[in-house]
Amino acid sequence: MATALVTGATSGIGAAFARALARRGWDLVLVARDEQRLENEAAAYRAQGRQVQVLRADLADRADVDRVAARLEDAAAPIDLLVNNAGFPVRAKLLSADQAAHDRAFEVMVRAVQVLSGAAGRAMTGRGRGRIVNVGSTAGRITMGAYSAIKAWVTVYTEGLANELDGTGVSAMALEPGWVRTEFHERAGISGSSMPAALWLDADELVDAALKDLSRGRVVSTPSVRYKALMLVARHAPRGGIRRISKALSDRRGSTVST
């Protein structure tokens, strides 16, 4: 039976991945900080007949990251799919003297992604099969502060990883969602009324589209026709225009929060 390890698995896109994979018959390793929520999620999937392991981990803690990496490299219980989803909004200004928020964002959404992808990639190439999904964002195509910079890194890193994995039987894909109705945006202070209704996506539909792209061998997945069109414009528009639009969006929210 195939097994997937999902970080940030108790809410939002991570929980949607877990639900979708459980429906498709996958066993799960769920990673998140809240042990009670992990156990609640695990109980629901076990009731469906899935084998579920729970790993409580704070990916800002390098010792916890190392524990998750060790699980990914456990040859006795192989992981067939890694979903690096853990993340959070970054409200801190780039000019902030207090770098604590930026440091935590780097640890969780950059360093942990690289460490866990590396661990999974080494284990998977040894077996000649496996898949890695790193959750980026369409925010990485615009310029809304630290979060945009981090998510741009996720996409470029994943594309480079896909190059290294070419011919090994292992694939890597960057998922670039737009605004998705999840707790993530509630924590970011982005309400449904603050953005046009047409831009909001359903998490389960997003994940179904992402899994289809993964099966097709896509390296970058941008679910929904509307976001594909918007990102096409973002890739070809003058950067000065992208910066002006990004500033307007940031000013509208009053901070450099994420999408």
Residues annotated as part of the active site:
147
CA-based end-to-end distance of the chain: 35
Q: What's the rounded Cα separation, in Å, for the pair 135 and 57? A: 18
Q: What's the rounded Cα separation, in Å, for the pair 170 and 51? A: 24
CA angle 74–79–83, rounded 5-degree value = 125
* In contact, 135 and 154? CB cutoff 8 Å: yes
With H, G, I as helix, E, B as strand and everything else as coil, classify residue 29: strand
Q: What's the rounded Cα separation, in Å, for the pair 249 and 14? A: 26
The pairing of beta strand 170-175 with beta strand 220-221: parallel
Q: What's the rounded Cα separation, in Å, for the pair 13 and 181? A: 9
Alpha helices in 73-202 (DSSP H): 100-106, 112-127, 145-165, 183-187
Q: Would you call 95 exposed, middle or buried from its count of C-beta atoms within 10 A (0-12, 13-18, 19+)?
A: exposed
**Closest Cα partner for 178 from 203, 143, 213, 160?**
203
